[in-house]
Chains A and B, each alone.
Chain A
């Protein structure tokens, strides 16, 4: 193996290292960028929630005033949804989809880099609003509260333009993954053999592609209301605030499936691995995911039951909302059946995945309660809703994502995370989560409204608020421990090996971390668990070391994606600060796009890593 040393980079300075990250088009490095940035924004949004919980710990809290509280709950919601959970999911799309389908990269590697940089700049732009007054009209930004009259600052402009940049990034990324999944599958990788996670990525991509354009239109119209003086959503000018609510929730409801379907995919990969048997009812799980995607477009008005749409609209949306519980229930039952009579291995990812099923089911059941519009009249704008949405988006999405981080960390870095500390993290997070959000059910039933910055004592809310805040601190502690575990993991716990969990899907058939070209030879797939087939019989093993290709060219690094993304950020920021800045941004977008089309995309040959990968 003397030749191996020659492949090491010759003069790797920190400058060339940073430059190689800025210009990277490799889906695995972009995955790391997405995950790292999203965890940072998760920490910011989490800190916002800790300030709010501290304020609410006791009656008549004086830590912050109402105005700051409004900014915090708005930014907490927007951040967790658009710049924490969505990019965490995108990080997993990037890491896994090409590996799952046996591809060398995504369909459009430079567009993939563009999506990341747009997300990063959009997220920074959104957070910069804290210096001049952050948006404070809720993540749903209902006019006329968010019109110029009642939100005179620039906070709403940061909200509108930031989400426009983030939405563009998501649409481009969805287009990329839809084409990748349709078009870059390895021989034998039929659609019906794709891992469930990849299926959920495809469904999520279509949700974003079709749900975001109406939202883009709505935000542009709100922007013209604020800047040009139109009155689409201003009742004084004859406008219609309910139109905003329709357009917003037409994105807002599919959005919650954008947040939950990828973690459902993660759990569908983790459970079979540690239950040591195939996923029960693969086809049912995939098709229920697809039907959730379709139905997700027809339930948006259940967010608007209290608006007064009339009994027929409320009845129809109640019925469809209840209907969507069927495919969701199918998934939960299939996950449970996967665990039934299995020889389960208790690992950290498994603990998070099983908690996902339990907590998501609790959140789903409380969702069924306010799916009925008369019940929702009582629940709406109370802490019961806060409890519900955190059970599905934290107990659901975040627990699923944590399962994914522990499960795929070895593939991402080649090292394992500490299992013992990981289990302590799970225990603290699980306990802290339930102590925080469990009591909110009771608070909501006792009539405590959402989005209040303080409350007076003697209403029966004092105890449970204190308990919830205690739980929140426990959860914060668990995430500090998580940060410690990850930092420790970066510095080198024991080497993971290619297939530490005895996995079933293609990513476990290559090295950890995978070489830049992913696979030395094209995998040939015979079932939806190709790696188990190779190990335990069935179809032939997917990888044939003898067929290793020697002439693999990977796409070349490019700095045009970050250039174009910067142009878009300037164009957006200029609307607030100065129009010439927007003009510069638009010129940058066009110049960068032309240069993009003219550069050569084929890089130098990526050498197969030799016999080391063959085993």
Chain B
């Protein structure tokens, strides 16, 4: 943000905020990696309660599909902005946020039904590790949804005229793109969580 009109180009030719977001994602990967490792430490400690084999793959499989589709709509939103199709851009961003909300809803349903069956943070170490991992992921989705909605509320891209071709280093485009980077990261994290935590026990 020290970069402004008249400031020389950055040394790497990369936008400052984009490089910052990539660095942050590097740090976040270790964060989720530790939570996943912690889950594997406690996977077998279900102590007679619900265990890894009781996870509902049908429900979370649908959730994974929803989240993957939201990455697609995010890509479409950015592509629309690049070519100045601003109405479509807003539509795709709204769809991404909506799909994120659907995912959170499904997770809320999953958590509630587990709770009714007696699985909680403190019911077993398996439960604690499961909720710590998926809960933190859900929290990231919530932050992502708030970020997406704020793109619309604060009118990111209102300086782009309909039909205008937008350069990759355009300020508004980067604003939307770093939100996209975060969103794709949260999505990718779910791909790992879904594969390792849900799919693996059923194979």
Chain A interfacial positions (CB closer than 8 Å to B): 103-110, 171, 175-176, 178-179, 182-185, 187, 189, 209-210, 212-214, 216-218, 220-221, 224, 228-232, 237-240, 243, 247, 522, 551, 553, 555, 590, 594, 597-598, 601-602
Contact = CB atoms under 8 A, between A and B. Distances in A.
A522 B121 contact: no
B10 A183 contact: yes
Contacts of B12: 182-183
A189 B8 CA distance: 14
A239 B128 CA distance: 11
Given A105-B2, A183-B19, A231-B125, 10 more contacts: A109-B1, A182-B14, A210-B26, A213-B30, A221-B38, A221-B128, A230-B128, A231-B122, A232-B38, A247-B34
B112 interface: no
B31 A228 contact: no
A540 to B, nearest CB: 19
A178 B30 contact: no
B8 A522 contact: yes
Nearest to B153: A594
Contacts of B8: 187, 522
Given A175-B23, A594-B154, A597-B154, A213 B1 contact: no
Contact of A217 (B11, B31, B42, B154): B31
A601 to B, nearest CB: 5
B26 A108 contact: no
B4 A601 contact: yes
A477 B43 CA distance: 56
A107 B31 contact: no
B2 A106 contact: yes
A583 to B, nearest CB: 15
B14 A232 contact: no
B59 to A, nearest CB: 24
A240 B27 contact: no
Interface in B124-158: 125, 128-129, 132, 146, 150, 154
B102 to A, nearest CB: 22
B110 interface: no
B169 interface: no
A485 B151 CA distance: 53
A230 B125 contact: yes
A555 B125 CA distance: 49
Contacts of A187: 8
B7 to A, nearest CB: 8
Interface in B98-123: 121-122
Contact of A213 (B5, B7, B20, B28): B28
B64 to A, nearest CB: 23
A163 to B, nearest CB: 15
7 contacts: A107-B1, A109-B2, A175-B20, A175-B27, A176-B20, A189-B11, A228-B121
B11 A238 contact: no
A433 to B, nearest CB: 36
Contacts of B121: 224, 228-230
Contacts of B154: 594, 597-598
B16 interface: yes
A243 B2 contact: no
In the A-B complex, the 7 residue pairs with the smallest Cβ-Cβ separation, listed nearest first, are A213-B31, A230-B128, A229-B122, A183-B10, A213-B30, A214-B34, A217-B34
Given A171-B27, A213-B31, A224-B132, A232 B11 contact: no
